[in-house]
Amino acid sequence: MDFARAEANRPKVTVTEVGTRDGFQAEPVFIPTAIKAEVIDALIGAGVRHVEATSFVSPRAVPQLADAHEVLALLQRRAEAHVAALVPNARGAERALGAGVEEMVCFVSASETHNGKNLNATIAQSLANVGEVAQVAAGRPVALRGAVACAFGCPFEGDVAVGAVLRIAEAYAALGIDRLTLGDTTGMATPPIVTRVLQALGERLPRMRVALHFHNTRGAGLANVLVGLDLGVREFESSIGGLGGCPFAPGATGNVCTEDLVYLLEESGFDTGVDLDALIRVAQRVEAIVGRALPGQVMKAGPRLRRYDPAAARRATG
């Protein structure tokens, strides 16, 4: 068997890091701007090529991300790295463009109740805001992505109808947005739910490029990733060390952990382009920054073939 050829032919999967946005936003103590930029640069240095770095929401709503423009100004920009930011409205879009992002991410919840809590607006109002963002982006050298929060369940309303997700995806498509992220905001996704949503979306909007954003609130995050892979998804969002949790959704805990995701993908025969050892070092640095143990597993155990000195291991006695 030609192992070099087999390695070169591994299917590629894009890992989009959201920790410095979706993770840091929930941290109660302000993280210095230079440290945020340091983490993003380290992630890119480890081979992560897509980073949702920050958010241009109101500083009053999310004080942790009030320094969005300053963080992006400190980054060591690289041609191969794709830096995105979350934008809630046209004003946020203008600010993001001024900071030089490569992609703007709009977001609307599939749950009317959660959308009101998260965006202080109805779904219809939020979609109108997305239309204004699309107008700002028109003719500019920037990509536009639409995200659907609570795509697999809502902590206020329970199950979310597949049709509610499809209506938002279709509204995005009507605005010319062909990149979609389905967000599992509070970790309510299960393999059967993920299957139903993806199959319905594939039938309705077969040309839409889909990414999956899972939280690991109930421990099913990586199982849902495997379902997505089987159904052809090749982009997943994750958070370094397992940071995260929506501050406007009760019970939300961290995202699927980036180093755990990369480990799973690489061991399953996919090519992420990410250096796992370097990624583990970033996770350990982030753990020191937030000052508490993070839930990532691979950062503790290391890669599968990590070797230990037998002489240093305890020996059973008795």
Residue 208 within a domain: yes
Q: What is the pLDDT of residues 231-247, one digit of tens each?
A: 999 999 999 999 986 55
Q: What is the pLDDT of residues 26-65, one digit of tens each?
A: 899 999 999 999 999 999 999 999 999 999 998 888 999 9
Residue 55 within a domain: yes
Helix/strand/coil for 216: coil
Distance CA 41, CA 175 (A): 33
> What per-residue confidence (pLDDT) applies to 77?
87
Residue 46 within a domain: yes
Residue 1 within a domain: no
Residue 5 within a domain: no
> What per-residue confidence (pLDDT) applies to 85?
98
Sheet strands (E) in the chain: 14-17, 50-55, 82-86, 103-109, 143-149, 179-184, 209-214, 235-238
Residue 4 within a domain: no
> What per-residue confidence (pLDDT) applies to 1?
44
- Domain count of the fold of the chain: 1
pTM above 0.85, yes or no: yes
> What per-residue confidence (pLDDT) applies to 293?
92
The low-confidence residues of the chain, meaning pLDDT below 50, are 1, 3-4
Question: Does residue 246 carry a catalytic annotation?
Answer: yes
Measured in whole angstroms, the distance separating CA 249 from the mean position of its chain's CA atoms is 17
Residue 291 within a domain: yes
Residue 92 within a domain: yes
Question: Which of 106, 150, 246, 257 is labelled catalytic?
Answer: 246
Distance CA 19, CA 36 (A): 10
> What per-residue confidence (pLDDT) applies to 245?
65
> What per-residue confidence (pLDDT) applies to 58?
87
Q: Which domain holds residue 81?
A: 10-312
For the domain that residue 61 is a member of, what is the CATH number? Answer: 3.20.20.70
> What per-residue confidence (pLDDT) applies to 247?
57
